A and B are shown apart, each in its own frame.
Chain A
């Protein structure tokens, strides 16, 4: 039985007052006390819920003990409490049902025709979709504009092989190239490659005895690196995750290796992975060396972190 707040509180030897409030424990969200206002506008006493013996009907709450014992319960200190309108207690309503019942408002007559309601709902969704769909394609195309561009097969001069004196050692060649992007004026950007004057054994390790061909985006051959050419150019971009690597002599590799400082990928003079996380050898660039030793390359860039070479630029 659900008692009303206002119900009469009755002890074994007679009525002592009316329920005026209840106190709820904010953690257990259960009623902890009932507050009983004494007859004739007297004080409000705070009675633990355990003292409630029975609720015979919604107008009456029966308390344990006598009226004399009831008057020993403490007086409510109102200032020590807040109402549930002043504080947010999660899921309080799910736990407690202190109203006399549900408070109802009439459901408008126009809303009771269910098929119409469904029809309106579906048509609303249909119109929403009709507006969203034609926008989706232009927006995707708009955002895709700069994502794909044809490969740049321009030759860039990077230096002269005169500076490569020793075999099987990496020499860095720095160069600047023009780069035109969207509406920006052409920028000069600095890049670098590594050139190795390779002994036949290293050449064999790089090319496997076969010439290496480079293609444009339509699959046409752009350039062929001869397998017996002594100079080999490696892209300056580490094929692991795209950092810049260096030529270093270390305790373990006194002859020198290519070492990437980011994730410690180590490559030999042929670009083969000796140690570290790199998934493929260093990328060989299309390179030509003139009779006077001038070096030109195509600034090919491959995607890092994958086993096969996937050309980006």
Chain B
């Protein structure tokens, strides 16, 4: 598609370098394979969520690496070094706040992405594996949020971890070992911080990069699902390539997400509470907002007692995730139109409404405590 008026007989130095590399690597073929993927039914804004997730993740990696230039993962310096980033280092407050809000954006975007795939019926054959790997990625994103939360080592960080690890402790059979593994002992301390740090900055990023690569590979292998309506002729007439129109929509969406995260970082920068200590003082422990619904659920009467606790904290969320994993194998009808899948539509609305309801009631509950 080179339509520049340059005369072809005199290649520039750059063109020569590109040609040299291309001859040995096949760059142009790779580029064509990556960018010229036909999108059935044409590009759409609804397809931008996955690209946005990749974009947010890359910036989380960049800001995360920058934070590690000053952060020290030891219980006598973690808090001080985080305060130093916020108060002393030029733009440190911004990069830390961007990383903080970026993690929330990641969770929101994962929910949006999964909802889109669910509503479009895009998890169905032949995309079952894309869906399964996607679920694993969802787990990784939540694990990122959970482990990263401890690192500033303030009261909020400490108590969210204490409660979170207590919940994992209730997992049957492996719970006790899992909790001890995460804490690096019977109670939270330096070993916990070291473990959460290495999981957050080494284990999870490596896992996420590998699985995201697999996710994209499987997606390209299966091809985009396209819209759930329209005859093959209609879809063909509207089909275009991933590049440039979908890339354009993706980058506009990324720029919007970027501006929203920047605005949140500017308007609501991260402020630490007191340094972590096993005495909560006046602080009312609470997890990050995307875990609030689960937190609130565990306040219900029906989830009291040892069995109730197991039911609310482990069995129900576990069963829900298992159901999501089984979904493409249970729901084998090829029908993808969400308006012809009433159970799926109602199920999605109920789940979303439930999460919203519990989150809002957790926020309202704060007033009773103060």
Q: Which stretch, B85-93, B161-169, B311-319, touches the partner chain A?
A: B85-93
In Å, the complex CA distance between A145 and B87 comes to 12
* Chain A at the B interface: SS class: helix
> Is A141's CB under 8 angstroms from B90's CB?
yes
Q: How many residues of A contact B (CB 8 A)?
A: 25
A103 to chain B, nearest CB (A): 15
Let me know if A179 is at the binding interface, CB within 8 A. Answer: no
Among B239, B251, B255, which residue has the most Cβ atoms of chain A within 10 A? B251
Which of A31-39, A111-119, A245-253 binds B?
A111-119
A-facing mask of B217-258, CB < 8 A → 1, else 0? 000000000000000000001111101110110011011001
A27 within 8 Å of B by Cβ?
A: no
Query: Which of A111, A124, A131, A141 has a CB less than 8 Å from the CB of B258?
Result: A131
Contact present for B88 and A182 (CB under 8 Å)? yes
Contact with A along B86-124 (1 / 0, CB 8 A): 001111101100000000000000000000000000000
In the assembled complex, A120 has its CB within 8 A of some CB on chain B: yes
**A101, CB-defined interface residue at 8 Å:** no
Chain B's closest residue to A114 (CB) is: B3
Q: Is the CB–CB distance between A144 and B90 below 8 Å?
A: yes
Nearest chain-B residue to A144 (Cβ)?
A: B90
| Known A108-B239, A109-B237, A139-B66; contact A124-B81, beta-carbon cutoff 8 A | no
Q: Name B251's contact: one of A110, A124, A139 (CB within 8 Å).
A: A124
Which A residues are in CB contact (< 8 Å) with B248? 120, 123-124
Residues of A within 8 A of B245 (CB): 110, 120
Contact indicator per residue, chain B 244-283, by CB within 8 Å of chain A (1) or not (0): 1101100110110010000000000000000000000000
Within 8 A of A (CB), among B69-93: 69-70, 72, 77, 80-81, 83-84, 88-92
**Across the interface, do A121 and B239 meet the contact criterion of CB distance under 8 Å?**
no
Q: Indicate whether A291 reaches chain B with its CB closer than 8 angstroms.
A: no
Cβ contacts under 8 Å, B38 to chain A? 108
Q: Are A131 and B255 in contact (CB under 8 A)?
A: yes
The answer to whether A118 touches B251 (Cβ under 8 A) is no
**Known A110-B239, A145-B90, A182-B70: A118·B254 in contact at CB below 8 Å:** no
Q: Is A183 a contact of B94 with CB atoms below 8 Å?
A: no
A40 at the interface (CB under 8 A from B): no
Q: Which of A87-133 contact B (CB under 8 A)?
A: 108-111, 114, 117-118, 120-121, 123-124, 127-128, 130-131
A138 to B95, CA, bound (A): 9
Q: In the complex the two chains form, is B240's CB within 8 Å of A108's CB?
A: yes
Q: Are B66 and A142 in contact (CB under 8 A)?
A: yes
> Can you name the residue of chain B whose Cβ is closest to the Cβ of A118?
B3
CB of B184 closer than 8 Å to a CB of A: no
Q: How far is the CB of B240 from chain A (nearest CB, A)?
A: 4
In the bound complex, do residue A127 and residue B251 qualify as a contact, i.e. CB atoms below 8 Å apart?
A: yes
Contacts of A80 in B (CB 8 A): none
Chain B residues lying within 8 Å of A120, measured Cβ to Cβ, are 244-245, 247-248
Q: Contacts A120-B244, A131-B254, A145-B88 given: A183-B66 contact, CB under 8 Å?
A: no
A117 near B92 with CB under 8 A, answer no
Per-residue CB proximity of A178-201 to B under 8 Å, as 1/0? 000011100000000000000000
A143 located at the interface, meaning its Cβ lies under 8 Å from any Cβ of chain B in the complex:
yes
Q: Does B1 contact A (CB under 8 A)?
A: yes
Shortest Cβ distance from B30 into chain A, in angstroms?
14
B248 to chain A, nearest CB (A): 4
B42 on the A face (CB < 8 A): yes
Min Cβ gap B224→A in Å is 13
A-B contact pairs, 19 of them (CB 8 A): A108-B240, A110-B42, A110-B239, A118-B3, A124-B244, A124-B248, A127-B254, A131-B254, A139-B95, A142-B66, A142-B69, A142-B95, A143-B66, A143-B69, A145-B89, A145-B92, A182-B88, A183-B70, A183-B81
Query: B residues bordering A, Cβ < 8 Å?
Result: 1, 3, 38, 42, 66, 69-70, 72, 77, 80-81, 83-84, 88-92, 94-95, 237-241, 243-245, 247-248, 251-252, 254-255, 258
Pick the 3 closest A-B CB pairs, nearest first. A120-B244, A138-B91, A183-B84
Assuming A117-B1, A123-B248, A142-B91, what are 18 further A-B pairs, CB within 8 angstroms?
Answer: A108-B239, A108-B241, A110-B42, A110-B245, A121-B244, A124-B251, A127-B251, A128-B251, A139-B66, A142-B90, A143-B69, A144-B90, A145-B92, A182-B88, A183-B70, A183-B72, A183-B83, A183-B84
